Structure formats: C-alpha cells, structure tokens
Amino acid sequence: MLTSTRLFVLAGMVMALQACSKDNDIIDNGPQPGTGAPVETVNPNTGYAPAFPGQTRVNSATTTTPYNFTVLTSALASPWGMTVLPDGRLLITEKEGSMRIVTTTGSVGNAITGIPAVNSTDQGGLLGVTIDREFDINRMIYWVFAENAAGGTLTAVAKGKLSADETTIEGATVIYRAGPAANSTLHYGGRILMDATDNLVVTTGERSILATRPSAQDVKTSLGKIIRINKNGGAALGNPIFAGTGALPELYSIGHRNPQGIAFHPITGALWQSEHGPRGGDEINRAKPGYNYGWPVITYGIEYTGEPIGAPIQQKEGMEQPKYYWDPVISPSGMTFYKNNRVPEWENNLFVAALSGQHIARLVIHNEVVIGEERLLGGEGQRFRDITQGKDGALYAITDAGRLYKIDRQM
C-alpha cells in the first residue's frame, strides 16, 4: 500500500458568508477565492478571448488543511466508473466488461457475471454506473456501455439486479440506445446518475467523426446530448420540449461533444457537467434543461490538425457559455462535489478527474462562478478517470492504470 502526505500551514480564517440570489440559488458559505498565479503555465493553443473574466486560468487556490492520499489497490483493470453502495463499498466498472465490488480498504472482489457484451475498442467498453435509490430493497443497478449495432456502435443504457450473493447481474436488460449507430469507436459520453425524482440522467457523445459531429445540434438524434429517462428507458416526465420536428422527448440538453462527467450540486441540486474539447476547449458547464451548449458551432478549441472549427466563433446568441474552460486540455472525465467538512475549504467544491492532465482539478465555485483552481495528486503520473465521495466522507478516485486512491483529511 502506497501512502503520501501533503501538509500545509493554516493560512488564516475564512469568513462565513452565505450567498443567495433571487432564485434562491445558494451554493456555498462564502469560499475563499484563489489568490495565487493560475495553475496552467503552458501557452494556450488559440488566441481566443474568454467571454468573461475568470472563464479560464482563474487564480490558484491552495488547500490549507492537512490531507493525505493512499493507493488502496493497483489491481483493477482499466476502471471507468464507480458508485457507492449503501454499506460504503464501491461498485466499479472495468472497461473490458466487468464490474467488481471493492472495499474501502482495497479488497477487490471477483468479476460480476451476467453483463451484456461490450465493444471495448478505443473509447468504448463498460462505462458509467449508478444504483437505484432503493437499492437496499430492489438491488437494481444501471450502467452505460458501448454496444455493437447495425451500422457500427452506439451508447447503450442497461439495468439489472445484483444477486443476493453479489456474483451476478440478474435479468440484465438494455433500456435505452442513443441512436443512430455510428461507424466510430470514439466519444460515447457514458456517465449516468439518478436524479432527485428517481429518473436517470445520461451523457452521450457525438461519436467524433465529421459525419456525426453535426448531430450534437440535431434534436432528432440523441448523439451529443444529455438525456433524461425513467427507469424503464422512456422519456422522463418534466423534460424540456425542444423546437423542431421530431425532437426527441428524452433530451435534456444539446450541443455537447464528449461529456464524461456529471454531478449534482449538494445544496442547489443543479446539474453540472464536464466535456472534452478538441485541441483546447475542455468545458465545465452548468447543464440546464432545454439549453444548447454550442458544439460544434461555438468552441474554445481547434481541430487536432491546428485548423479552426467552423466559422470559427466562441459566442452565439441562444448558445450557452461554459462556466469554465481549459486550453490546453486536461481531458476532464468523472467528477463530484465534496459534501463534507472534514476538509472545510473543500466543502461544495467540484473535483474533476483529469486524464491527459494527470491530476485531480479542484474548482472553488461561488454563485456559479469558478473563483479558484487547484491541482491535486499531479505528481502521481496517473490518468484519473473518475472520482466520488464515499460514505466515510473521503474522496475515492480511479485511474486508467488500475489504481484506486483514497483522499482524506490527515488524522
């Protein structure tokens, strides 16, 4: 078991201020803004100007409470998603098609059987996972995976019951398929959460290739979207109605590229989302029902070849601006809000697993504005794929190399 510790000297007291707006959007108790130089020091790929101050390269923040991180296990095989079981153990998906239950001391269970076949080529595989709010009663699990289909592959959502002995998924059923299928093995999206109304929120990618890229703006497809469905796969009640003939009723928001992270704010319940940009233009969005997030019409990134994307423009009426973006990219994947006071300055902060960035980004947010950024575990040399908070209040993060980290206040 590998352990490392970060110690800091307390830098003063943080004044407790409660901020609220006319729509009662109280999001924290007055976090301390960053005061240091931005954490990003590499030149951006573009000369694009942000839409507002602090939209990128905000001042850096520093955790002052002593904390440590521990590698609980390195025995996982390309873990992708995880969720917390009622007893505190972690249910983790592995890209090739397995689920395993892992204890918070690092004991890894056997592969759970009964899961439909996945296409694990490139960015495919067994992806995000969540459990039913009444799991103690019904033992239902919901997950996202890349599925083979006529015409290529697609992002699929399935559900099934974890057997009493935790060895198999019983009655696994595909409840939703994000069509149309594409001849691509990239940009599946793949995160899934259950919202406060017991409906499922799922992210889908626009599948990367130029032929499908415009689908992110097409309300007749579910590519490049956040969708909201019920537990049987039908459109959830209360979804927004998008203009246009044939608009799908399951759409929640549109104009996304490859959204690999979603999280609900612990106080407001607002949905936030992370999204991979191309060369530059990774985004953090406050995902609102019925809104258009612009891809591929507006972006703060460029093609991998260095060519501009589209016009190119970064702002357009009717299209939402990201709350924050990175250039160069960090490849933001899974994310979670911290809902504990064990590390007081982390309360209600957003923690984002960064793949190419090889760190965990801590974003300090106040009134839906990012006011500070910190990079954690940057010396580990790991592609962080997902992060969540455990029942014990600690953060748990998985990496592509198979590690499970525990991050918590030093006791």
Q: Does residue 268 contact residue 240 with C-beta atoms inside 8 Å?
A: no
- Phi/psi at 215 (nearest 5 deg)? -65, -20
Rounded to 10 degrees, the C-alpha dihedral 338/344/345/347 comes to: 30
Q: Does residue 156 contact residue 146 with C-beta atoms inside 8 Å?
A: yes
60-76 b/e (C-beta count within 10 Å ≥ 16 → b)? bbebbbebebbbbbeeb
359 tagged catalytic: no
The residue from 187, 276, 359, 366 that is catalytic is 187
Q: Does residue 390 contact residue 91 with C-beta atoms inside 8 Å?
A: no
- Phi/psi at 274 (nearest 5 deg)? -105, 150
Structure tokens of 30?
Answer: 């007055």
Cα 169 to Cα 162: distance, rounded to the nearest angstrom = 5
Task: Tell me the CA distances in angstroms from 122 to 95, 186, 197, 237, 318, one per residue in order.
Answer: 10, 6, 34, 35, 34
CA 382 to chain centre: 17
Q: Does residue 157 contact residue 235 with C-beta atoms inside 8 Å?
A: no
Catalytic site positions: 187
